Amino acid sequence: MGDVLDSVGFLYPGFSAEDEYPAIERLLGGGVRLPVVHTTMREDAHRVDALLDIGGSDVLAQGARELRAMNVTAAVWACTSGSFVFGWDGAAAQVAGVEQAAGVPASSTSFAFVNAARHLGLSRVAVAATYPRDVADRFAAFLGHAGVEVVSMSCRGIITAAEVGTLGRAEVLDFVAANDHPEAEAVLVPDTALHTVSWLDALEERVGKPVLTANQVSVWEGLRLTGATPVHPGLGTLFATKEGPRNGPVG
């Protein structure tokens, strides 16, 4: 990457698993900066009305302007439910607003899942969601819009990001493994409040197939926007092959 580091900025709602971004930065060996701006979360709830507020244009524009002042080269709205809950067109408009305010290419975690699935050639997936069912169903619809079939959907029914952030290694491994499906080519684990990055290799070994998780795909997507996605061990199958430069949130 040369002497000038790429800097991918993340808009992260509240506080729960934001420590995954510096963890990935360290794992990548100092070749990229991954600064995080915490956006306003007036109510911590995996409920549609609360999520629409969390991902509101005013909230994201304020955070994106902070990223702009940091001179980032790409920006990602690092919230799965706070993006797919708006639907495909709404999520695209959301990203356009972030891009305008930040002044750099932008995307969101929901589009990151779509682009990661396309990168790996996935057409059928299982989803292990921490959310209540009505919220998780919107993620399945979002993936379906992109041509990715959800063959199995599980919902843990956790309301708050704070609670999701407390789940430990054994709980996460068991949850993902229990909700795999034999017809699925990969398991998708949404929710950037969930810690998974330190356990990606263990997750994939446990289920015997790719596992895509929210903070993992968010970082991959941001690096994809810069054209600097590295091949790196320890970050799952997604980081095992290089992605070329792309512009915009969707392929």
Separation CA 213–CA 215 (nearest Å):
6
Domains 6-111+215-232 and 113-213 share a fold: yes
Tell me if residue 86 falls in helix, strand or coil: coil
Which segments within 3-138 are labelled E, that is strand?
6-13, 32-33, 36-39, 74-77, 106-108, 124-129
Tell me the sheet residues that pair with 127: 153, 188
The pLDDT of residue 9:
98
Q: Where are the alpha helices (DSSP H) in 146-213?
A: 161-164, 169-178, 200-207
Give the right CATH number for 6-111+215-232 from 3.40.50.2300, 3.40.50.12500, 3.30.420.40, 3.40.50.970. Answer: 3.40.50.12500
| Residue-level length of the chain | 251
pLDDT per residue rounded down to tens, the chain (251 residues) = 344 468 999 999 989 999 999 999 999 887 789 999 999 998 877 888 888 888 999 999 999 999 999 999 999 999 999 999 999 999 999 999 999 999 999 999 999 999 999 999 999 999 999 888 999 999 999 999 999 999 999 888 787 777 887 888 888 899 999 989 999 999 999 999 999 999 999 999 999 999 999 999 999 999 999 987 778 888 999 998 765 444 445 54
How far does Cα 215 stand from its chain's mean position? 5
Tell me the sheet residues that pair with 189: 213
Separation CA 225–CA 245 (nearest Å):
6
Smallest CA-to-CA distance from 95 within 245, 229, 247 is with 247
Separation CA 94–CA 58 (nearest Å):
10
Domain boundaries, given as residue ranges, for the chain: 6-111+215-232, 113-213
Separation CA 136–CA 183 (nearest Å):
19
CA distances from 164 to 46, 112, 168, 241 (A): 10, 20, 9, 30
**Burial of residue 198 (number of CB atoms within 10 Å: 0-12, 13-18, 19+):** middle
CATH of domain 113-213: 3.40.50.12500
